[in-house]
Chain A
Amino acid sequence: MRGNFAKITKILSAGVVAAGLLASASAKAAEDTIKVGILHSLSGTMAISETTLKDVMLMLIDEQNAKGGLLGKKLEAVVVDPASNWPLFAEKARELISKDKVAAVFGCWTSVSRKSVLPVFSELDNILFYPVQYEGEESERNVFYTGAAPNQQAIPAVDYLMSADGGSVKRWVLEGTDYVYPRTTNKILEAYLKSKGVPAEDIMVNYTPFGFSDWQTEVSAIKKFGSAGKKTAVVSTVNGDANVPFYKELGNQGIKAEDIPVMAFSVGEEELAGLDTKPLVGHLAAWNYFESVNTPENKKFIADWHKFIKNNKRTTNDPMEAHYIGFNMWVKAVQKAGTTDPDKVIDAMVGVSVPNLTGGYSAMMPNHHITKPVLIGEIQANGQFQTVSKTPGLVMGDEWSDYLPDSKDLISDWRAPLSCGNFNVKTGKCGGKGTN
């Protein structure tokens, strides 16, 4: 019996060993390379979203090497798997920086994983590129936020729904998964809607747990809320896996986009790939990038991606574009600084401007957020989005929301001499209080 049990532990540890092999294989490579850390979950609940980002990073590094590398050296990817386990993100980040001596790290998806690695990055003074839309209320010296802040996604989305084109919506359902991003975003949206004169009884806020799958009650509550004789829309911050059953239930209960449109902030091409989108035509999403955007840059990016992943059906999405922008910005900043030393690169990053995939340029601002256009798209029968509205210019990421009482006086500017992530313009001191 004892022998058998040993066998089982062997099987169990096989997975751990396999993960370890990935890291050790890279250690054998040539000495004179610049290492780039990739910190995305390849197993566990978040693997569904993060694996793609790991692949796109490998592709970008390959392409850069084909162009001759960086500062005359080849780039080398170091991939680790934090396994959707938030404390493990911090451990793996420490490993990447101290042991593998990476020059920069591209990684994290959920806000909680980002919060978990922040102390590691400031202690060991390295750089993190964070590619996902998030709730804002944060600005760190060592982090560059290439995803959207709330004012680059949520606020323009609500503005669109209020406009005549979007259907002049008067009644709002804020539906979200119960964690920090939806709660903060909804707090900002509620304050924003009220500032636009929407009465409290025309706003319904509801939260569901992670991975929620039985949406019958929620969808019929939305239906009920929508039958008050005013145009109603749902703003959804429902995350990841819970979206598929949510949309299936909407389709089954016959809620059509013409009657009650659903505007989502976490549903992209990747999430729609698991769905029959015919009943969902017309529901909306707000992003800074859609696969359907028709520009030469995007066409090339999609073609490269299909070639790299060897599958013509794989979609591209917004966080992938964020990594594309972030990686190119880092390359440019390293060239500008002439070194990969994080301190010098951080200083060189501000003001760097690179092409994005939607036919313009994105620039890194002093608050470590970037400028992006905001696109509103409608879901089509083929699982893609059709852009129905685009902001006329670029929108600059606003880290401290102007609609929350705690953060409206704060600004962030990482250039000398201010060099502060939460400067309070009222008191003139660095170290103002954010909401979290």
Chain B
Amino acid sequence: MKIFRAIGLTLLFLLTTLSSSGAAEADLRAIIAKFATAADFSETGAIVRELTATGDPAVERPLAALAEGNLYIRAADSMVFVGKEGSDSIQLFDPLSGEAAGEASADDLTQIGVNNTLRRTIRDALGTLTLGSKDPTVRIAAADTMFKTPDAANIEPLDAAIASETVASVKALLEQARGASILVSDKPDTDKLAAIALIGARGDRDALSLLTSVEANASGAVKEAATAAIASINSTLAFWDAGQNIWYGISLGSVLLLAAIGLAITFGVMGVINMAHGEMVMLGAYTTFVVQQVIRTSFPGLFDWSLVIALPLAFLVAALVGLAIERGIIRFLYGRPLETLLATWGVSLILQQAVRTIFGPTNQEVGNPSWMSGSFDIGQLAITWNRLWILVFALAVFGVLLYVMKRTPWGLQMRAVTANRRMAASMGIKTPWVDALTFALGSGIAGIAGVALSQIDNVSPNLGRGYIIDSFMVVVFGGVGNLWGTLVGAFSLGIVNKFLEPYAGAVLGKIVVLVLIILFIQKRPRGLFALKGRAVEA
């Protein structure tokens, strides 16, 4: 196969200079036509290798389509086409020229199956074929693939590519790929030592993976250099690992904060043990689902805005349900925590079962908008966009809530009623309505938390169950009645949890955190930031 590829690559450079001829195209078509008779994955794989061996850049289109599962055989005449799924039929395109070739229904076409091994073969093949692409991102992807699958036959084409490369960053990647290929070739040790230095400087997990296999197979100076490079990469990675733990902790903290912040109002400020809090989060998530469904069917262009549209709606839905619960049940139970606990527990069961009846018991799909998908790197730290946005969102919600509580007349009334209900009533504040609106606010905030959590968790009737214990833990730990306590509580629990997890495992980590909280509450029953003054005794 190596020989094939070597021949293919030489051909590639010949062909790109001479430009492909009509005869070559007929050959390619003959090879592509063989897909129709391939009986299993290994035969399809053989055809892929044959196509790659021609070295013609034109094979990129059919190969890429095959990897995506978009290559079809028409049953009527065994012709091979690239297909694009339309609403009720499949549009066909010529596999080489890409010209439209009519359409056919799915029943008349057979999709050519691919498996992981084939996909990898195709990816490697495309890596070498797209080295000369005009698009720098494609060249970066090609360099990356060639780095991960080093092959002595790659050195020559990489040399040529490096010579003609104009973008410095791409050039560096190409040189690293060349280094990787040198390490698996039979070049002299001096070249290999230089390559190890180059790759060692790259310092990421791919480099580590490559050097580990080099270390296992080499001897003498090369082995020593590889060992040294591995040690240095490991020490940098250990540093980044610590950073990663902190980031994961902050990210978990932001999720806890979002889940708990509504409860900090209903339980923290009002003192209602609200077991239906998780269900408010769930209602918010289902609102997001409904919004996305409507957008999918009626306004597909708006999909990236779905979360922004869902936010106010989720707030409204959860706040209205919260208002109904307060007016209907909780207001009769103030001052009776046990009954409140049981009643809200019952409400949570009713809400869960209602959602189950309306939407069905299975998970619903809530998609990630494009700006919340994928990740970016800072050094060796991969940060996923959705986690980052959730952190930003959690802090924004916290800021807004703090402003409402501290700077608006409504917030003042809320605090007044909590601090001294009778005095507030004497001042002309309608305490029952302040109670109702405060509860609605807490529920509404839980609803918008649901919008964010729908991005990282299941949207199922059980969504709320997973967050209720954690939310209470955060509020109690942070100090009941104090928003800042909730913030600090959420982030410290998140970070402690994530630092324990790699050492103790997820199960034991959770137990240790729970035990620590119990011990802490023994020592400081009012949590981190205890409220002082008469409010506490009331």
Chain A residues proximal to chain B, CB less than 8 Å: 1, 4-5, 8, 11-12, 15, 42-45, 47-48, 51-52, 164-167, 178, 206-209, 211-214, 216-218, 220-221, 223-224, 226-230, 241, 244-245, 248-249, 251-254, 257-258, 261, 270-271, 273-276, 281-282, 284, 378, 380-381, 386, 388
Contact = CB atoms under 8 A, between A and B. Distances in A.
A1 B362 contact: no
A258 B356 contact: no
B116 A245 contact: no
Interface residues of B, number: 68
Interface in B112-158: 113, 115-117, 119-120, 123
A151 B333 CA distance: 56
A8 B346 contact: yes
B340 to A, nearest CB: 10
Contact of A378 (B115, B244, B466): B115
B277 interface: no
Contact of B365 (A8, A11, A261, A276): A276
Nearest to A178: B507
A257 B116 contact: yes
Interface stretch (B162-170, B265-273, B368-376): B368-376
Contact of B113 (A248, A252, A386): A386
A258 B127 CA distance: 14
Contacts of A282: 115-116, 119
A75 B472 CA distance: 49
Contact of B212 (A166, A224, A228, A275): A228
Given A48-B461, A227-B212, A258-B119, 6 more contacts: A52-B361, A167-B120, A207-B507, A253-B375, A274-B458, A386-B113
6 contacts: A165-B115, A209-B510, A213-B456, A241-B363, A245-B457, A276-B367
Question: Which 5 A-B pairs have CB atoms at the shortest separation, nearest pair first?
Answer: A274-B363, A229-B213, A227-B205, A229-B212, A12-B346
Contacts of A227: 205-206, 208-209, 212
A244 B458 contact: yes
B462 A241 contact: yes
B361 A276 contact: no
A271 B373 CA distance: 20
A388 B466 contact: no
Contacts of B510: 209
A235 B287 CA distance: 35
Contacts of B120: 167, 258
A16 to B, nearest CB: 10
B270 to A, nearest CB: 18
Contact of A252 (B346, B367, B375, B460): B375
A51 B252 contact: no
A264 to B, nearest CB: 14
B312 interface: no
A139 to B, nearest CB: 30
Contacts of A44: 462
A15 B352 CA distance: 12
A252 B510 CA distance: 24
B478 to A, nearest CB: 19
Contacts of B352: 43
A8 B507 contact: no
A258 B148 CA distance: 12
B387 A244 contact: no
Nearest to A220: B244
Given A213-B466, A227-B209, A244 B117 contact: no
B343 interface: yes
Contact of B466 (A51, A211, A274): A211
A223 B205 contact: yes
B130 to A, nearest CB: 17
Nearest to B344: A8
B364 A274 contact: yes
A254 B377 CA distance: 12
Contacts of A43: 349, 352-353, 356
Contacts of A8: 329, 332-333, 339, 343, 346
B412 interface: no
Nearest to B255: A214
Given A48-B362, A257-B116, A274 B459 contact: yes
B361 A51 contact: yes
Interface stretch (B57-65, B74-82, B497-505): B497-505
Interface string B475-509: 00000000000000000000000100110011100
B373 A252 contact: yes
A229 B210 contact: yes
B410 interface: no
B256 to A, nearest CB: 9
A58 to B, nearest CB: 15
Contact of B346 (A11, A213, A271): A11
A44 B361 CA distance: 10
Contacts of A388: 41, 113, 115
A298 B504 CA distance: 46
A78 B115 CA distance: 44
A273 B363 contact: yes
Nearest to A376: B115
Contacts of A164: 117
A253 B346 contact: no
B51 to A, nearest CB: 19
Contacts of A214: 248, 251-252, 255
A159 B442 CA distance: 53
B201 interface: no
A216 B252 contact: yes
A178 B120 CA distance: 33
A15 B116 contact: no
A271 B69 contact: no
